[in-house]
Structures are given as C-alpha cells and as structure tokens.
C-alpha cells in the first residue's frame, strides 16, 4: 500500500496492524485515561472498601445500579445538564466513607477525607451526610413513632483544623479549639433506616481552608428513650457505614450561558 503521508496537524499516527497490541499503544491509552481524570498515577488500592458499604452507598444514591452479575451501570449527569439549560462544567459526585481515629470520640465522632480530585478550585454545589439509624431490639414496641433531634456539629470556616476537642462536649479533651457550627434536624423514626443531613456549608468550609478532613460530632437528643441509635464507624457493620456525598464541579465559570 502507498506509504502513509504524515500530516502536519496529526500529532498521533496510529501503529499499523501488526503493532496494535503493542504495549506502548496500551500505555498511551492508559495515560490518556489518567490525564482525563487529572491523575498522575492509578490509585493504589491496598485495603478496598467493604463491598457491602460500596453497594449500599451506590444503591442509596441511584448513582449506579448493581446488576445481578455484580456489574455496575451508571446513569450519566447529562440529563440534568439538559434540564437546567446550562452548559455544565464537568460535574462529579464524590462519595466519602466515614473513618475514625484516636482524635475522634468513639461515641459521637467521625471524620471524612473528602477528595477534591486534585483540584483546588472545586465548587461544592451540594453535600449530604447519610446516617443509618437502628431501632434497638430492647426499644419500645414496633411501629411506634419516635421523634428525635439529631445535631451534627462541624467546624466552621476559619477554625483551626483538626478535631482536638469537640463542640464543648465529647471528642477528646472537651472544649473546642475552634468554632463549631451546627446542623439540627428533627427526625421521625418508625423503623431502622437512612436519613440525610445537609452539610454543604461544612464541606465548603473545609475546602475553603485548603483542608480535606471533615470532622463531625453526632449527638441525638431523645434517642436513648426512643430506643434508637445512629450507626457510626462500626467495623462489624460495614453496610451501614456513614457516607458523605459531595456534588462538585470545576469552578471555571468561563463557559456559562445565561438566559437573557
């Protein structure tokens, strides 16, 4: 066949048939995927998230349907972009799973390491905490309506980062080293189940500080008498592990089309 002319503007010249499975070609495609995900290297997964926690989070979110064969199907964001007539900068949804360490109170503390995907100017459009409340076996009889007040304390923007001390109650040394803000919600519990708490401001505050650690304190007024309890970080119960969903987009602002 006639030799393939190189073209001034075609930087990439595909290998010919015999080299297709050439490892360089494969590496080029891998590099392309990592570039588009703004990653330098592929993540190093040493201790994977329990599958039960992952499946629960995905199922709760409709972010993906887990098929019988375990494969995941993902609906894309596009439908929503068309919905609000705005040209969306790249939107991503980040699910972080709760962790605990020696800085968090075992009774009421947990923290999240929220990813900003290596992007400093990520705009958080929405963030929700998902908490599972379990009706304790020894609680009042089934079907009784239980109204409790759940208080989520988080550190405000400008507060010293780190979880030393808590909002004047639990969490290590007691007394806070920074200002804590509060999200409060009345929850009506009939049975065990998931509940969400809006934490957009909290996550924006963490990103605003250039940090990614989101410390929370969870207090529930009335839970004991109602015989219910929020599940925090419990290795024995991975499928009810709290998780944080952050919907963010790259704040570039250039490509916005507004209705006039």
Partner 1 sequence: GLECDGTSGGLCCRQQFYIDFRLIGWNDWIIAPAGYYGNYCEGSCPAYMAGVPGSASSFHTAVVNQYRMRGMSPGSVNSCCIPTKLSTMSMLYFDDEYNIVKRDVPNMIVEECGCA
Nearer to partner 1, 43 or 137 (CB): 43
Q: What is the DSSP string of 35-51?
A: HHTT-SS----SSPPPH
Q: Which of residues 194-233 bind partner 1 (CB under 8 A)?
A: 212
Using the contact rule CB under 8 A, the part of the chain among 89-97, 188-196, 221-229, 231-239 near partner 1 is: 89-97
- The reply on whether position 114 binds partner 1 by CB under 8 A is yes
Strands (E), the chain: 65-66, 72-73, 91-97, 109-113, 122-135, 146-155, 180-189, 193-198, 213-221, 228-231, 243-250
Using the contact rule CB under 8 A, the part of the chain among 3-11, 140-148, 191-199, 220-228 near partner 1 is: 3-11
The one among 1, 18, 84, 85 contacting partner 1 by CB under 8 A: 1
Please report how close the Cβ of residue 137 comes to partner 1 at its closest, in angstroms. 32
- The reply on whether position 9 binds partner 1 by CB under 8 A is yes
Rounded Cα distance, 84 and 95, in Å? 24
Q: What Cα–Cα distance (Å) separates residue 190 from each residue in 135, 187, 214, 228, 231? A: 8, 10, 30, 10, 16
Q: Which of residues 20-79 bind partner 1 (CB under 8 A)?
A: 20, 26, 29-30, 32-33, 36-37, 39, 42-45, 48-49, 54, 57-58, 63-64, 71-78
Q: 219 with 150: CB under 8 angstroms? A: yes
Rounded Cα distance, 58 and 72, in Å? 9
Rounded Cα distance, 238 and 61, in Å? 17
Strands (E), 136-179: 146-155
Please report how close the Cβ of residue 136 comes to partner 1 at its closest, in angstroms. 30
DSSP-derived pairing of the beta strands 122-135 and 243-250: antiparallel
Please report how close the Cβ of residue 4 comes to partner 1 at its closest, in angstroms. 7
Please report how close the Cβ of residue 232 comes to partner 1 at its closest, in angstroms. 17
Nearer to partner 1, 86 or 156 (CB): 86
* 183's tokens: 């999200």
Applying CB under 8 A, which residues contact partner 1?
Answer: 1-2, 4-5, 7-10, 12, 14, 20, 26, 29-30, 32-33, 36-37, 39, 42-45, 48-49, 54, 57-58, 63-64, 71-78, 90-97, 113-115, 117, 212
């Amino acid at each position: 066949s006639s030799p393939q002319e190189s073209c001034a503007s075609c930087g990439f010249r595909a290998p010919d048939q015999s080299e297709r499975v050439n490892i360089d070609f494969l590496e080029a495609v891998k590099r392309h995927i990592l570039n588009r995900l703004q990653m330098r290297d592929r993540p190093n997964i040493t201790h994977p998230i329990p599958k039960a926690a992952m499946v629960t989070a995905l199922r709760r979110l409709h972010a993906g349907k887990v098929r019988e064969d375990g494969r995941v199907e993902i609906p894309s964001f596009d439908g929503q972009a068309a919905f609000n007539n705005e040209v969306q900068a790249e939107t991503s949804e980040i699910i972080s799973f709760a962790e605990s360490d020696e800085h968090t109170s075992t009774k009421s503390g947990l923290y999240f390491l929220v990813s900003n995907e290596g992007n400093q100017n990520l705009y958080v459009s929405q963030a929700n905490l998902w908490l599972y409340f379990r009706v304790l076996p020894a609680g009042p009889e089934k079907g009784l309506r239980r109204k409790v007040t759940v208080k989520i304390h988080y550190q405000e923007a400008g507060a010293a980062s780190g979880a030393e001390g808590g909002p004047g109650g639990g969490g290590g040394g007691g007394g806070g080293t920074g200002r804590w803000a509060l999200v409060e919600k009345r929850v009506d519990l009939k049975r065990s189940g998931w509940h969400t708490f809006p934490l957009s401001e909290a996550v924006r505050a963490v990103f605003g500080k250039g940090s990614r650690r989101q410390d929370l304190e969870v207090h529930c007024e009335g839970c004991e008498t109602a015989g219910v309890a929020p599940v925090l970080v419990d290795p024995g119960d991975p499928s009810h592990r709290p998780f944080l969903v952050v919907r963010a987009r790259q704040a570039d602002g250039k490509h916005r089309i507004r209705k006039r």
